[in-house]
Amino acid sequence: MEERNNQNRAPIYEALEEFRDARVVPFDVPGHKRGRGNRELAEFLGERCVSIDVNSMKPLDNLCHPISVIREAEILAAEAFGSANAFFMVGGTTSAVQSMVLSACKRGDKIILPRNVHRSVINALVLNGAIPVYVNPEVDQRLGISLGMRFSQVKEAIEQNPDAACVLVNNPTYYGICSDLKGIVKLAHDAGMLVLADEAHGTHFYFGKGLPISAMRSGADMSSVSMHKSGGSLTQSSFLLTGENVHPGHVRQVINLTQTTSGSYLLMSSLDISRRNLALHGKEIFEQVKFLAEYARGEINEIGGYYAFGKEIVDKEAIYDFDPTKLSVHTLDIGLAGIEVYDLLRDEYDIQIEFGDLGNILAYISIGDRIQEVERLVSALGEIERNFRKSKAGMLSQEYIPPDVVVSPQEAFYAKKESLPRRETLHRISSEFVMCYPPGIPILAPGERITQEILDYIAYAKEKGCSLTGPEDEDIDNLNVLK
């Protein structure tokens, strides 16, 4: 009971409240001095908000070396998530993922990972020079989405690369698809490898019932958790969780290589307060989120033409489990690419969803949603079906192209290169990323050979209006390739 009660506390928040009451005179940074020096900003964000935008100091602890209130808040977070340690991250889950990868492997080490990882993972490989060993995820032929890693595929990869340092797993993918994390942890640990989880889309697994297993419960060694996605904290705030096998001092050192020394108390207090909220009310909150997503799925499937997929796609193989809070809808059967439905929802119906890819849309349902907005989304989809439906002919859905890794991401990124018109890059080795954002999963990563399939895919995605990012040339008419 004692432990449960502790979760009522929010040490950073409490320290900030106390600090505000103390009316300390600031002769330190930030220079706006509680907003007085920037009235417009204070008015826009609110007095209460700017008055706690303060610097590290004794009563408020220091993110680089936490010993008091931040440390306490980290201990409470670790308890709430069931991890040995928890680290407050203020550079987004990107920084958590990078710190995780940088802690677990180094230059020349192999890391086993699915290809449908977030760009931040491969970015980390550019930084540390580790070599990716991709497990090619299967693609669901109907939905055109990349799935999880099969247990047998991971087993094979581990057997073929017994020298690999670690295995990275998406838990879940953007679309809510999980691999057999517990099985993979056992395999990897038996082979002496660490297991890292990208749980950017899995915060709720730690608190809700009837959801896929969380990384820490499955025995994984490290996990990056996007509190700001399903957890309700401010954008850019995140947790890095570690298990018993990982030395917290080493992780702290790695984090401090790249993380700011001026950690934002807005972000840290939002993590603290959100953790408390989830620990105390998470179960009911995610019951409601699940209910809304399931309700929307049922209603959308009744419209006809759309397929809002749910738990029925679980096959215990490449789809080991499915996160029922995710609302993904397959749109190709009404003759519209997901990205087209995404644009229509925004332009015609003032509804902003998370993303649309070639075959699907994803609407993010969370802690802040109400039934009346869900009704709007469902009705707008019905209207799009009625007013914009087209023939399905000529629609492309293939989303996954197996990469041909020729050199390591780091080598390719720093190599001598030249910029060529896109169509002249066939068979060359790319030195940069190309991806649709969101979801931010690379079509091409540094060090990979450019194939006709990839060039066709880029052209089609551009034509459909996907927002393509990565290359130096923003229009992606030119690509940088190795000389």
Partner 1 sequence: MDLWFSELQTENVKLSIRVDRQIFSQQSEVQRIDVFESREFGRILSLDGHIMLTERDEYIYDEMITHVPMAVHKNAKNILVIGAGDGGVVRELTRYDRVESIDLVEMDPLVVEVCREYLPQNACRLDDPRVSLHYENGLKFLRKKENSYDLIIVDSNDPFGPQEGLFTKEFYGNCFKSLREDGIMVNQQGSPFYEEDARACKRSHKRIVSTFPISRVYQAHIPTYAAGYWLFGFASKKYHPVDDLDAASWSMLGLHTQYYTTKLHQGAFFLPAYLEEMLKSVE
**Angstrom distance (rounded) from CA 390 to CA 213:** 40
Residue 423 binds partner 1, judged by CB under 8 A: no
Stretch that binds partner 1, among 64-72, 216-224, 230-238, 373-381 (CB under 8 A): 373-381
Q: Is 71 in the site for partner 1 (CB under 8 A)?
A: no
379 near partner 1, judged by CB under 8 A? yes
Stretch in the footprint of partner 1 (CB under 8 A) among 50-58, 327-335, 346-354, 390-398:
346-354
Tell whether residue 43 is a contact of partner 1 (CB under 8 A): no
As measured in angstroms, the least distance from the Cβ of 388 to partner 1 is 11
Footprint (CB under 8 A) of partner 1, residues 289-328: 299, 303
Two structure tokens written together for 298: 């049922």
On whether the CB atoms of residues 357 and 338 are closer than 8 A, the answer is: yes
Interacting span for partner 1 (CB under 8 A) from 10-18, 103-111, 316-324, 381-389:
381-389
In this complex, which beta carbon is closest to partner 1, that of residue 349 or of residue 437? 349
Report which DSSP code applies to 313: G
Closer by beta carbon to partner 1, 79 or else 373: 373
Structure tokens belonging to residue 436: 């649709």
Tokens of 250: 């080493």
In one-letter notation, the amino acid at residue 244 is E
Residue of the chain from 371, 456, 463, 467 that contacts partner 1 (CB under 8 A): 371
Give me the 198-217 binding string for partner 1, x by CB under 8 A, dash otherwise: --------------------
**Which one among 312, 350, 474, 475 touches partner 1, defined by CB under 8 A?**
350
**One of 5, 141, 387, 391 touching partner 1 (CB under 8 A):** 387
Show the 3-state SS of 196-257. Answer: EEEECCCHHHHCCCCCCCCCCCCCCCEEEECHHHHCCCCCCCEEEEECCCCCHHHHHHHHHH
Residue 38 within binding range of partner 1, rule CB under 8 A: no
* Neighbouring residues of 9: CB distance < 8 A, sequence distance ≥ 6: 72, 76, 276
Could you tell me the smallest distance in angstroms from the CB atom of residue 344 to partner 1? 11
The least distance separating partner 1 from the CB of residue 376, rounded to whole angstroms, comes to 5
> Which range, of 61-69, 126-134, 221-229, 342-350, touches partner 1 by CB under 8 A?
342-350
Residues 6+ apart with CB under 8 A from 69: 11, 12, 14, 15, 59, 60, 61
How far apart CA 373 and CA 327 sit, in angstroms, is: 14
Exposure string of 332-363, with b = 16+ CB inside 10 Å and e = fewer, is bbbbbbbbbbbebbeeeeebebbbbbbbbbbb
Confirm or reject binding of residue 375 to partner 1 (CB under 8 A): yes
Place of tokens 């519209």: 336
Element (H, E) at 376: helix 371-388
CA atoms within 13 A on the CB side of 70: 23
Among 343, 354, 383, 411, binds partner 1 (CB under 8 A): 383
Q: Which of the stretches 87-95, 361-369, 374-382, 432-440 binds partner 1 when contact is defined by CB under 8 A? A: 374-382
Burial string for 97-134 (b: 16+ CB within 10 Å, else e) reads bbbbbbbbbeeebbbbbbbbbbbbbbbbbbbbbbbbbb
Among 1, 372, 474, 475, binds partner 1 (CB under 8 A): 372
Residues 107 to 126 in contact with partner 1, rule: CB under 8 A: none
Give the footprint of partner 1 on this chain (CB under 8 A): 299, 303, 348-350, 371-373, 375-376, 378-380, 382-383, 386-387
